[in-house]
Structure 1
């Protein structure tokens, strides 16, 4: 496939994206020399880009004149920093039972978040959209801003989503998320909504701010109720033809696994089975982990079973994809760390290419973190076409 010609417009966009990425990542203001070193651009190009971005409101130049009477040798270096409050992005996690919206500035700092519950799993599209919208508006209000200042929204759903943002509807559960969110939010607020699979966003978030930071061959397993994987290969997020890369239905056919049930679900199921024999009730996943920490024999046996099952799951992923690292993520990650020693011991029995296995430090915010990263990527890529609020 022939490459697009390097037109002046394309070069301006690429250069602006490079400069914006650097000033966002730096905690302090950057000099022109630092920007040259980090972007590979010439001084003339750096200064031209910075002047353009200042005019558009994306960055600002700091005053380097010093206090009156200060003696300076030579010309002070110009220093530039991101105008992080020039606009905001939203990161939205849309599950079956709840939705969470997080508001972040242009540096990716989360300012506020809000969660809302759905009254049922199978809802009319308009009602599901209304609940998501309420979570977004409440998060924006808590952040002290309004919908007009949102530059983009990343949104994760528990269903495959193709590269064009279309939900795969070949299963009933997946179809519950095909509600027309992108068009609805465009009409309601004028927002660009970047729809993506939740595990894919988890992978983006983990590679950005989690234990997999900077890893180019990474798999993130959302492992709470059901297993789903986000796959990054050679630094690229994998989708597959219809967005179903990372779907775990094949586990029904894997020996010693048998389903895509996640850690929390298995802990409850096996606790309930054991307690039924003792005329007791089912324990929550958290309670199972707490009982195991206290030395309860039945709970320890459940964790042993979960560890072996997860080792088989991770081994199947390692055999297919050969990642450097597999991360167990989601709300269950806080407890899953106790499984790691046994998983790592078992892995060489099931695969010749065992990856490094970690748990995510991002907890149940992993999808919103990835959604924010996804939205920031869009904003940086389109900075020269986006109009910042108040600068029309």
Structure 2
């Protein structure tokens, strides 16, 4: 790959990103196959592999049996680091640890008291994080990134600006507290946002680029994925429909309110799929029957698949996305 007039450091990063993408495409390619995937010469690919091996990101795969001398094959070393996701709810916390390819290493759940003050809740969250890391056999220093999900409006620096669900939770600097416990920055986002991310990754909205997630369980909220990216709004408050009564999706709602609230949001956002959490079979049938005719384009309406794990898994996906941006940064 040539960058006319560009400096050598940019060229190195471009070549490294190309080889990493070739490795992440799957399988165990030979040097020749990987060079073809990356669009690079064999010598350049070999140099990049040597650098990646020195960083622990690539290993040689076991030779395949066959005639003659087998070609050396390579694979991405996903166990070179780990990511962690924390989902904090009113009554529970879930912690998930995975390698750099997203393969689960451990999970841990713990019960929380709904009325616990912030200090007690945070202490329980830190204990759950330590337990999950111990189960995975992963040291804090091996974490490349961490994410956390919480009810409420979350600022860019990880502070809970507003929360209607947990007493005293507004004002908690969650990113700073967890970052101090883990010895690294922690990405923090709203629970419905991260649940939307999780359902797109491993749940009812797999592969969809435009997703509306409706949380109608212990509290109400929405998460939006638009064009494959989370939509947080100007100040992180996008989807916080639960903070105002009379909007159709705030507090306990009858079927009519749910139908019109979801239809209105679907008309505004034009999603490929609407994922609803906390609705029973009867309500899901009602939503499918009545919301679709109100939309101007076809929309799938699906029940959420990930349950109480959604927020923690979304936080894990947030952390993994951060790792991938760093790996492929040019």
TM normalised by structure 1 equals 0.72
Structure 2 unmatched ranges of 5 or more: none
Distance 1:29 1:198 in 2: 37
**Deviations 1:33-69 (Å, cap 9, x if unpaired)?**
655666x5424554443332211001212243x56xx
Deviation at 1:17?
Answer: 4.9
| CA root-mean-square deviation | 3.2
Q: Secondary structure at the match of 2:275?
A: strand
1:211 alignment partner, one of 201, 204, 208:
204
Is 2:71 the counterpart of 1:71?
A: no
Residue 10 of structure 1: CA displacement? Answer: 5.0
Superposed, 1:56-205 pairs within 5 Å as 56-64=55-63, 71-72=67-68, 76-121=70-115, 123-124=117-118, 126-169=119-162, 173=166, 176=169, 178-205=171-198
Write the distance in 1 (CA, Å) between the matches of 2:90 and 2:200: 25
| Residue deviations 1:267-320 (CA, integer Å, cap 9, x gap) | xxxxxxxxxxxxxxxxxxxxxxxxxxxxxxxxxxxxxx54x4432222011121
Query: Which residue in the other structure is 1:377 paired with?
Result: 321
1:260 paired residue number? 250
TM alignment of 1:224-263, pairs within 5 A: 224-249=217-242, 252-254=245-247, 257=248, 259-261=249-251
Q: Which residue of 2 aligns with 1:42?
A: 40
SS of residue in 1 equivalent to 2:102: coil
Q: Distance in 2 between matches of 1:361 and 1:180?
A: 30
Match in the other structure for 2:304:
360
Unmatched segments (≥5 aa) in structure 1: 267-304, 386-392
Matched, 1:311 2:259: yes
Which 10-residue stretch deviates more, 45-54 or 197-206? 45-54
2-structure distance, mates of 1:156, 1:339: 27
Shift of 1:135: 0.4
CA contact 1:318–1:354 (8 Å) conserved in 2: no
Matched residue count: 324
2:151/2:163 contact within 8 Å kept: no
2:245 aligned counterpart, secondary structure: helix
Say whether the 8 Å CA contact 2:159–2:174 is kept in structure 1: no
Q: CA deviation at 1:252?
A: 3.1
Change (3 A) 1:123 1:63: same
Structure 1 window deviating more from structure 2 (8-17 vs 319-328): it is 8-17
TM-score, structure 2 normalization: 0.84
Larger-gyration structure (1/2): 1
Shift of 1:154: 1.0
The structure where strand makes up a greater share of residues is 2
Q: Secondary structure at the match of 1:366?
A: helix
State which drifts further: 51-60 or 176-185. 176-185
Of 175-184 and 223-232, more deviation after overlay is shown by 175-184
Change (3 A) 1:13 1:212: farther
* C-alpha distance 18-242 of structure 1, shift in aligned 2 (>3 A): farther
